[in-house]
Amino acid sequence: MSKSPAILPNISLQPFNTFGVEAKASAYMEITSSQCLMDAIQDGFLEGNSVLVLGGGSNLLVQKDFNGLVLHMRNRSIKLIRQTAETFMVQASAGENWHDFVQWTLHQGMPGLENLSLIPGSVGASPIQNIGAYGVEVGEFIDSVQIIHLSSGRMENLDGKSCGFAYRDSIFKNELKGLVAVLGVTFALPRKWTPRLDYADVARELAAREWKMPTATQIAQAVIDIRKRKLPDPTVIGNAGSFFKNPVVSEETYRTLLAAHPGLVSYPYGDGSRKLAAGWLIDQCGWKGRRKGDAGVYEKQALVLVNHGNATGSEIAELAHEIQQDVFRHFGVQLEPEPVFV
């Protein structure tokens, strides 16, 4: 006989989103194992309900109360499942804290993810967003993603090539959106490690420390220190990290913008396209450090929206919309938010 986890009614989501905005869910279920989620599906608890799968809540903007069932992924485990001549195959459950998982791999002598240190959130969210930082995207290291279909309880292993990874994008934000939950991720970490030092901020940080041949742990520490200087701690001031994606434009559009704005900050992005620095665009429009009520733009990084205390999700969304309009007016470039709006 199956044993579904308890459903709790009328639960505040404020502790479960890093913006710290207040909203309630009409029903909440903590998922501590793959089996308990399968039991809940088979027992019909998801039928007729709107469902929100929640991880660390670090890529989420809750604008109002959620009239449905929140599935909070809290399943935990990390293990080395096998080794090949080329890779360490490491499997982590969706509920594991992402930064703690990265630190575990480094302590075990399995480098590769060090540039992704201190990104808030859970392992289960990492393939959905195809998280990236400092020249690295997690999709490069994902061998497979373990998912469960919410309508049937069928489990499936989706190989990395089928995940549709792109810049801050994946199949989970498109064809499979709302249809599956991520149960765990298997990573292929290289035995022959090559440090990724081509990102300017990382290179400068390492040079300042005179680390000419840094270890993976030293790179991780450099990344951690950079992020701490640039980004606010969500436990101190509510935020979801970078709020907007860096827009990708054609070479022609880039050259037109550069002629009009010689200080334009951009990076090559393959196939002749360019990735523009969204933070620079926002800063040029004068938004850095501004606030509307308790919703504001972080004073040290214009790419980050913050909750100064009692901002609602809708107030933060309104601020984001104003910024989008302003950037489009000045540059003709449309900014796309990173967080999921609920």
pTM of the predicted model as reported, rounded to 2 decimal places: 0.90
pLDDT of residue 192: 94
pLDDT tens profile 76-89: 999 999 999 999 99
The structural domains of the chain, ordered by start, are 7-73 (3.30.43.10), 78-190 (3.30.465.10), 238-341 (3.90.78.10)
* pLDDT, average across residues 297-302: 95
DSSP assignment string, 14-70: GGGSTT----EEEEEEEE-SHHHHHHHHHTTTTTT--EEEESSSTTEE--S-EEEEE
The confidence band for 252, taking pLDDT boundaries of 50, 70 and 90, is very high
pLDDT tens profile 202-239: 989 999 988 889 999 999 999 999 999 989 999 899 99
Q: Is the pLDDT of residue 1 over 50?
A: no
Residue 144, Cβ density class (10 Å: 0-12 exposed, 13-18 middle, ≥19 buried): buried
Active site members: 168, 242, 338
- The secondary structure of residue 1, as a DSSP letter, is -
The confidence band for 199, taking pLDDT boundaries of 50, 70 and 90, is confident
